[in-house]
Structure 1
Amino acid sequence: MPLKILLIYNPKAAHGRSLKILPEVESEFISRNVDFELRLTDYPEHAAAIVRDADLSAYDGLVAAGGDGTLFETVNGLMKNEGTRIPLGVLPVGTGNAFARDIYQNAADWHEAVETIARNAPRPVDVGKFTSHGESFYYLNILGLGFVADVVDTTRRLKAFGNIAYTWSVVYQTLFLRAYALKMEADGKTVERENIFVEISNTRYTSNFLMAPAARIDDGLLDVTLLGRLTRRRLLGAFPKIFTGEHVHLPEVETFQAKRIRIETDPPKVLTPDGELTGITPVEVECLHRAIKVFR
């Protein structure tokens, strides 16, 4: 029996490049004896709605084809679907493919992704859950707030330039750098400080930055990275270290792991899960240990 998947495909991913390669993607699945039902997304949050309302028991797997935003929506649809929770596949055909970096040798090669999905050997991974003002969301990659959310907001306007847009946005937002009051409770540990950003990682990468070098996607823990107050010059000087993960050794950076986290800020801060802008502090975050299976 061929593997049957529900293929959630964002035709606007990578500025429309994903639509151009769709015939190749379909041919690749067919050549590997994978049966698929194709659903194209038409508007923001469409992927989440399709998956949430689908009868997933009719499929052997679910595949998110696009970038990090498409994956975020698909995961939320899967977690909020009241039926069967089937394995998830990731087809990296978007601009940002951060989660793919943790499960594939070459995150830019969608052919490798199809091969992995066709092999049908899913393994469990952790899922991050956060609750903001009574509404819960789920993520596979990373949840941030503060400076990083401001950067994401700017990056969305420069998305046509690809991953370099994130770097330009960092430089731009540095001009408006301002610390805020943070109170965090993490597995009984309390942190109160003037802070620049918080990142709560399930995976190692965000965009092409090695934010959490020690993170593992199935260890039952989230990796927290805090950046304390520092000058604009110091921030720009330290920025290149994020590409290699060396930033974790800076004196202004604190890292630790936790399963449950609560955050309050003054003033309230917008949240950025997996490159989206959703929710606002205060926020509660937890790691759902091996909550779903992923083809990897």
Structure 2
Amino acid sequence: MHAVTADDHRPAGPSPAGLPAGGPVAVLANPTAGRGRHRGLLPDLLDRLSTAGRPVRLLSATSADEAEAACHAAVAEGASALIAVGGDGTIHRAIQSVAGTAVPFGPVPAGTGNDFAAETGFPSAPRAAADVIAAALRQGHSRPVDLARMTGADGTVRWYGAVLAAGFDAIVNERANRMRWPRGPRRYDLAILAELARLRPRRYTLTLDGERLEVDAVLVAVGNGASYGGGMRICPAADPTDGLLDVVVGGRFDRRTLIRVKPRIYAGTHVTHPLVHTYRARTVTITADDITTYADGERSLPLPMTLTATPQALHLLH
């Protein structure tokens, strides 16, 4: 992902009640999100955010890692709020800097997948979402939602807002990211075909609030929210305000069964299949060989890892 160059969009105005005084509203924008279809909206979005009476500072970055570092720096320097304009990947990078802090956050959905913004009640239209965020800034109002905290075997800590994939979908993403050809969506389609050809259940050890479970599975997902991948309701009962994580395990699927069940994920009806089991826990440990997980659609930590539901870890401008 890429962000646009830094700029102070408007002079400082009066400080809204309830927000940290003095700092600007930092904005991370990904012009390539959603295949660039919202690129021309950014000046208008900044104008709308500026109606809150705060200076708006556009962060500068040319890669996903730089974008995340820019967010951390902005928060460390006293930003009064952080806004992310993009899809779930952009939001994922941004929340690493505000998770567990009092700095409020606003997602402006402008990506291919906007699951976190949708699940937390933001309008799907970027202009409307920016207006909601600006109103919250003016009023000094935010509301808390949960995040999931990931802790890797080496102690690395990351956060996510929507869903962690640790099964077939993560394996497909990993293959697609290794492929140099073709470019675009066809690469993902070919990665699916390649992984279907070698599909096999893998042995997972899940520990759910201290209860150990050995499963052979093809699909494993842990949801703070219900959906991933642009509306696929893999964890349909997940609620990002209940202090719990929803775990969905699809067992010993063969190729034909997986192909038949996969479309049902969009409606969330896959959980009624006899090979699918659902669980709910505050703390989940997952162990399996040779799996790199994907959180909010972004390449994340390898297994094993521990996931912890963290209530009210993020304060949304809504």
TM-score, length-normalised on structure 2? Answer: 0.83
- The alignment's C-alpha RMSD in Å is 2.4
Counterpart residue number, 2:274: 251
In the alignment, structure 1 residue 136 sits paired with structure 2 residue 157 = yes
The higher radius of gyration belongs to 2
Gaps of at least 5 residues in structure 1 are: none
Deviation at 1:171, TM superposition (A): 5.2
Counterpart residue number, 2:204: 182
Amino acid at match of 2:133: I
Verify the 8 A CA contact 1:140 1:203 in the aligned structure 2. yes
In the alignment, structure 1 residue 23 sits paired with structure 2 residue 43 = yes
Cα separation, 1, equivalents of 2:114 and 2:54: 23
1:172 to 1:35, Cα distance in 2 relative to 1, 3 A: farther
Verify the 8 A CA contact 2:287 2:304 in the aligned structure 1. yes
Verify the 8 A CA contact 2:249 2:277 in the aligned structure 1. yes
Cα separation, 2, equivalents of 1:114 and 1:154: 36
Cα separation, 2, equivalents of 1:293 and 1:40: 24
Q: Deviations over 1:71-114 (max 9, x none)?
A: 1111112238xxx630110011122211011123642x111211
Verify the 8 A CA contact 2:206 2:284 in the aligned structure 1. yes
Counterpart residue number, 1:117: 133
Gaps of at least 5 residues in structure 2 are: 1-13, 17-23
Q: How does 1:18-97 map to 2 (within 5 A)?
A: 18-31=38-51, 33=53, 35-55=55-75, 58-79=78-99, 85-97=102-114
Cα separation, 1, equivalents of 2:75 and 2:89: 23
TM-score, length-normalised on structure 1? Answer: 0.88
- Could you say which structure has the higher strand fraction? 1
Q: How does 1:106-255 map to 2 (within 5 A)?
A: 106-107=123-124, 109-120=125-136, 121-134=141-154, 135-153=156-174, 160-161=184-185, 170=192, 173-207=195-229, 208-255=231-278
Q: Which sits farther off after the overlay, 182-191 or 25-34?
A: 25-34
Q: Deviations over 1:223-267 (max 9, x none)?
A: 1001101111011111111010000111111111111111111x2
Deviation at 1:41, TM superposition (A): 2.7
Q: Which sits farther off after the overlay, 19-28 or 192-201?
A: 19-28
Deviation at 1:26, TM superposition (A): 2.1
Verify the 8 A CA contact 2:147 2:309 in the aligned structure 1. yes
Cα separation, 2, equivalents of 1:106 and 1:170: 31
Q: Which runs of 4+ in 1 moved over 6 A?
A: 164-168
Give the number of aligned pairs. Answer: 289
